[in-house]
């Protein structure tokens, strides 16, 4: 339904009382049938009968515009596309959950909760499946749906109300026949896409020659951040709610009572929410879903254990990252066997040549996997992976495909794969740096240029809205941009000739690019992608030199006078500015009027982010993760102490994890680490 109800479509005539009553009855009836169909899965009428009621209401609202209301089912897909999303604070923080795959950790969690409650107070837990989707905050005022906000950094997110309004399982007005609506209700939920709808979506994308989505979660998260609500509507999304963040005008004393209230108000809650009083109960519930999840039509990646008593929760409190009264008991990675059909090379933004395994497609946990990164030549050699091998693969964290090992090495295998001597994209001779193989043609290699344009426009760099990965690909592949500086030559007339651009979006992109001709110096340095120069180092350089020309001409000893800049970093920076190809690009940017400006030196200061310890196996080489943290001003140590800021725990984490828990040091999984890193302006390729 895409009808827009504007005054121009209607006569302007005021609706008589009998029409007002009919419209109200139709809205109530349609909302009731929508809840029965989308939330309770027990429809009472056919689709044809529903459509007839819907069309009657549309006709009335078009004839009498004064009938329009925010809770009308006709308003689900009636909004115009937005220019951008507004960032707004959450009603209450949306914290992450501490998580584990080990039953021993669940035992320790139970012991901590029991100790906190005191002798004679046995914990009662509420258990629910851990939905693998995109977290969302929904706000109702006097029963009316008024706002939806993405999780963002946990404290604030993007207002995506019009997109969430398109989702039929989200009531536009709370049901009040069982209990009255509260004055204000803020709830946390998960936006998901069913596996069957996800497969249909990807089949359509593949048929069009487009890149399919990696998982239902990625598709759902991408849909709710589309500027055009009709795109979100086309994805057939669903929302389950599971946590009351704030409540006014009504009270509940347990989480289970809150779930009952949400259900009474017509909201969709997860299936099979149960109680538990022992670790044995929890383990049994967890095992049920380990077996059942492959039969479910949506993704879950574990179960959630929550203390039921809300007063006891408040007493236990939370860390800055997660509540102490809850734990996610996650599933082990799902594994399958397949064959490596081909090993090829992918060239990334920084010029690193990454070997990629193209696999005989296999479904791993509901997701079609057809390729996996092999990281670098050392990793390839260590695992001895070759074309034609039968291999075990898994989705790390149920998301990232990994080749675990060769199942059997037989005679007559293909020859070992060798890294090429030249870049397969631009033909430039490559060089080796540690385990990496690198193309030095930073701004002239098409593959690198796409990535560098995306990086140039990223939030931590120049923050150019509308210039993302897909747009960068189009600009380079069509030949409109063959160098970074040419971004500032683009005209709206050129863009409208390309697929995907209308006059408004073309004009908006050109304006957004031109508005960044005088970026802050620190942002400009980040945008250039200078090796070893992340957010923290860029701020230090900007504060110390105050002018781009001085940084560009600085000698190694000048750079090493800055605290934290050592010989390797100074060499990488001076080599960047001495490289002839880079000189051509920089001169071209300056010729187009790009001039970096220095802001208040106080802005260059970066708070001490503290020391991090990594333990266990993570989806990227540990040196990459450590470097990403150091790039934003953090430090990395090898042992856990009370001074450790947090521990990043991967699979098969060792004694460092136990020590962190004993000392009360915060523990993050890899996905949470990446989220923290990006929230601080850093990034990492995963």
Residue 250, judged by CB atoms within 10 A of its CB (0-12, 13-18, 19+), counts as: middle
Express each pLDDT in 90-131 by its tens digit: 999 898 888 888 999 999 999 999 999 988 888 999 999 999
Structure tokens at 202: 């990807």
CA distances 498 to 68, 474, 493, Å, are 38, 8, 10
d(CA 484, CA 456): 8
For the ranges 320-324, 634-638, 677-681, the lowest mean pLDDT is seen at: 677-681
CA distances 436 to 65, 93, 448, 569, Å, are 64, 41, 15, 18
At residue 32, the pLDDT reads 81
Domain ranges of the chain: 7-75, 99-330, 335-410, 607-679
For the ranges 25-29, 431-435, 482-486, 623-627, the lowest mean pLDDT is seen at: 623-627
At residue 553, the pLDDT reads 94
Structure tokens at 244: 């009351």
Query: pLDDT-based confidence at 640, cuts 50/70/90?
Result: confident
At residue 77, the pLDDT reads 61
pLDDT surpassing 80 at residue 435? yes
7-75 and 99-330 have identical folds:
no
pLDDT surpassing 50 at residue 577? yes
CA distances 597 to 517, 523, 543, Å, are 10, 10, 11
Q: What is the mean pLDDT of residues 72-99?
A: 78
- The helix-helix angle for 469-477 and 446-456 (nearest 10°) equals 140
Handedness of CA 158, 138, 144, 310 (dihedral sign): negative
Q: What is the mean pLDDT of residues 445-462?
A: 88
pLDDT surpassing 90 at residue 303? yes
> Would you say 656 and 611 are in contact if contact means Cβ atoms under 8 Å apart?
no
Whose CA is closest to 333, among 283, 293, 284, 376?
293
At residue 623, the pLDDT reads 65
β-partners of residue 254 are: 309
Structure pTM?
A: 0.52
- Integer-rounded Cα Rg, in Å, for the chain is 27
At residue 686, the pLDDT reads 60
Express each pLDDT in 374-430 by its tens digit: 888 888 889 999 999 999 988 654 456 788 899 888 888 999 999 999 999 999 999
For the domain spanning 335-410, the CATH number is: 2.40.50.140
Express each pLDDT in 199-251 by its tens digit: 778 777 666 555 567 678 888 888 888 888 877 888 889 999 999 999 999 99
Q: What is the mean pLDDT of residues 169-181?
A: 92
Share of the chain above pLDDT 70, in %: 90
d(CA 554, CA 571): 11
Express each pLDDT in 478-507 by its tens digit: 999 999 999 999 999 999 998 888 899 999
Whose CA is closest to 236, among 289, 198, 209, 273?
198
At residue 493, the pLDDT reads 94
d(CA 266, CA 271): 14
Domain 99-330, CATH among 3.30.470.30, 3.30.930.10, 2.60.40.10, 3.40.50.720: 3.30.470.30
Query: pLDDT-based confidence at 279, cuts 50/70/90?
Result: very high
d(CA 561, CA 565): 7
For 623-645, give the secondary structure using H, E and C. HHHHHHHHHCCCEECCCCCCCEE
The residue ranking higher by pLDDT, 84 or 226, is 226
Express each pLDDT in 34-64 by its tens digit: 777 666 656 777 766 777 787 788 888 888 8
591 Cβ contact partners less than 8 Å away, ≥ 6 residues apart: 485
At residue 2, the pLDDT reads 32
pLDDT surpassing 70 at residue 160? yes
Q: Quickly count: other Cβ atoms within 10 Å of residue 17's Cβ.
A: 7
DSSP 25-94: HHHHHHHHHHHHHHTSS--SS-HHHHHHHHHHHHHHHHH-GGG--TT-GGGTT-PPPPS-PPEEE-SS--
For the ranges 11-15, 72-76, 428-432, the lowest mean pLDDT is seen at: 11-15
CA angle, 577 then 485 then 510, to 5°: 145
β-partners of residue 347 are: 353
d(CA 639, CA 1): 58
Which residue in the list 14, 84, 130, 659 is annotated as catalytic? 130
Express each pLDDT in 512-527 by its tens digit: 999 999 999 988 998 9
Whose CA is closest to 265, among 373, 389, 150, 176?
176
Q: Quickly count: other Cβ atoms within 10 Å of residue 149's Cβ.
A: 26
At residue 574, the pLDDT reads 95
Q: Give me the chain's average pLDDT, please.
A: 85
Share of the chain above pLDDT 90, in %: 42
Specify whether 115 is catalytic.
no
CB environment 377-409: b (16+ within 10 A), e (fewer): bebbeebebbbebebebbbbbbbbbbbeebeee
The residue ranking higher by pLDDT, 422 or 633, is 422
3-state SS class at 422: strand
Highest CATH level, class, for 607-679 = alpha beta
At residue 590, the pLDDT reads 95
Domain 7-75, CATH among 1.10.287.610, 3.40.605.10, 1.10.150.390, 3.40.980.10: 1.10.287.610
d(CA 645, CA 656): 13
d(CA 675, CA 668): 10
Handedness of CA 246, 247, 253, 254 (dihedral sign): negative
Q: What is the mean pLDDT of residues 305-313?
A: 94
E strands within 177-221? 184-193
Q: Quickly count: other Cβ atoms within 10 Å of residue 46's Cβ.
A: 9
Query: pLDDT-based confidence at 319, cuts 50/70/90?
Result: confident
Express each pLDDT in 253-266 by its tens digit: 999 999 999 999 99
Query: pLDDT-based confidence at 12, cuts 50/70/90?
Result: low
């Amino acid at each position: 339904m895409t009808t827009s109800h504007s005054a121009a479509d209607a006569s302007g005539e005021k609706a008589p009382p009998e029409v007002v009553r009919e419209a109200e009855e139709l809205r109530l009836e349609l909302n009731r049938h929508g809840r029965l169909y989308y939330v309770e899965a027990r429809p009472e009428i056919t689709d044809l009968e529903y459509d007839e009621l819907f069309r009657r209401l549309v006709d009335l609202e078009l004839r009498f515009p004064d009938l329009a209301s925010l809770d009308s089912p006709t308003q689900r897909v009636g909004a115009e596309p937005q220019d951008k999303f507004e960032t707004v604070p959450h009603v209450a923080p949306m914290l992450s959950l501490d998580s584990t795959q080990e039953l021993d950790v669940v035992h320790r969690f139970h012991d901590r909760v029991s100790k906190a409650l005191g002798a004679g107070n046995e914990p009662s837990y509420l258990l629910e499946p851990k939905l693998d989707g995109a977290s969302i905050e929904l706000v109702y005022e006097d029963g009316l749906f008024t706002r939806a906000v993405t999780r963002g950094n946990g404290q604030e997110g993007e207002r995506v109300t019009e997109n969430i309004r398109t989702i039929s399982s989200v009531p536009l007005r709370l049901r009040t026949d069982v209990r009255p609506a509260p004055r204000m209700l803020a709830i946390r939920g998960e936006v998901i896409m069913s596996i069957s709808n996800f497969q249909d979506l990807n089949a359509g994308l593949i048929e069009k020659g487009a890149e399919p989505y990696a998982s239902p979660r990625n598709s759902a998260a991408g849909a709710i951040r589309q500027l055009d609500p009709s795109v979100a509507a086309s994805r057939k999304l669903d929302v389950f709610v599971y946590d009351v963040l704030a409540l006014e005008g009504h009270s509940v004393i347990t989480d289970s009572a809150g779930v009952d209230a949400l259900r009474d108000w017509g909201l969709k809650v997860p299936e099979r929410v149960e109680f538990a009083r022992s670790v044995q109960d929890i383990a049994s519930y967890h095992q049920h879903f380990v077996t059942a999840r492959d039969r479910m039509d949506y993704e879950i990646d574990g179960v959630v254990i929550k203390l039921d008593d809300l007063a006891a929760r408040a007493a236990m409190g939370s860390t800055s990252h997660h509540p102490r009264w809850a734990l996610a008991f996650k599933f082990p990675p799902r594994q399958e066997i397949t064959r490596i059909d081909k090993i090829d090379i992918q060239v990334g933004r920084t010029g690193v040549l990454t070997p990629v395994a193209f696999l005989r497609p296999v479904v791993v946990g509901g997701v079609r996997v057809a390729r996996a990164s092999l990281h670098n030549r050392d990793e390839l050699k260590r695992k001895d992976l070759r074309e034609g091998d039968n291999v075990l693969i898994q989705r790390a964290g149920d998301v990232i495909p990994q080749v675990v090992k060769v199942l059997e090495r037989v005679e007559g295998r293909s020859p070992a794969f060798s890294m090429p001597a030249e870049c397969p994209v631009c033909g430039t001779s490559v060089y080796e740096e540690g385990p990496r193989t690198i193309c030095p043609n930073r701004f002239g290699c098409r593959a690198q240029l796409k990535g560098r344009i995306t990086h140039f426009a990223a939030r931590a760099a120049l923050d150019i809205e509308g210039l993302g990965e897909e747009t960068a690909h189009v600009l380079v592949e069509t030949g409109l941009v063959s160098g970074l500086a040419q971004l500032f030559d683009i005209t709206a007339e050129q863009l409208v000739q390309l697929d995907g651009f209308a006059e408004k979006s073309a004009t908006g992109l050109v304006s957004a690019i031109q508005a960044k001709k005088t970026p802050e110096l620190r942002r400009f340095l980040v945008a250039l992608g200078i090796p070893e120069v992340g957010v923290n180092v860029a701020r230090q350089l900007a504060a110390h030199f105050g002018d781009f020309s001085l940084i560009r001409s600085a000698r190694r000893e000048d750079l090493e006078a800055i605290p934290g800049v050592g010989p390797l970093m100074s060499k990488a920076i001076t080599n960047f500015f001495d490289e002839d190809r880079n000189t051509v690009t920089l001169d071209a940017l300056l010729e187009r009027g790009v001039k970096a400006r220095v802001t208040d030196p106080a802005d260059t200061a970066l708070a001490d982010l503290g020391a991090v310890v990594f333990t266990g196996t993570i989806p990227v080489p540990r040196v990459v993760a450590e470097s990403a943290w150091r790039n934003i001003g953090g430090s990395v140590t090898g042992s856990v102490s009370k001074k450790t800021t947090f521990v990043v725990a991967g699979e098969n984490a060792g004694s460092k994890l136990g020590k962190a828990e004993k000392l009360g040091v915060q523990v993050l999984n890899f996905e949470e680490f990446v989220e923290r890193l990006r929230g601080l302006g850093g990034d990492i390729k995963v």
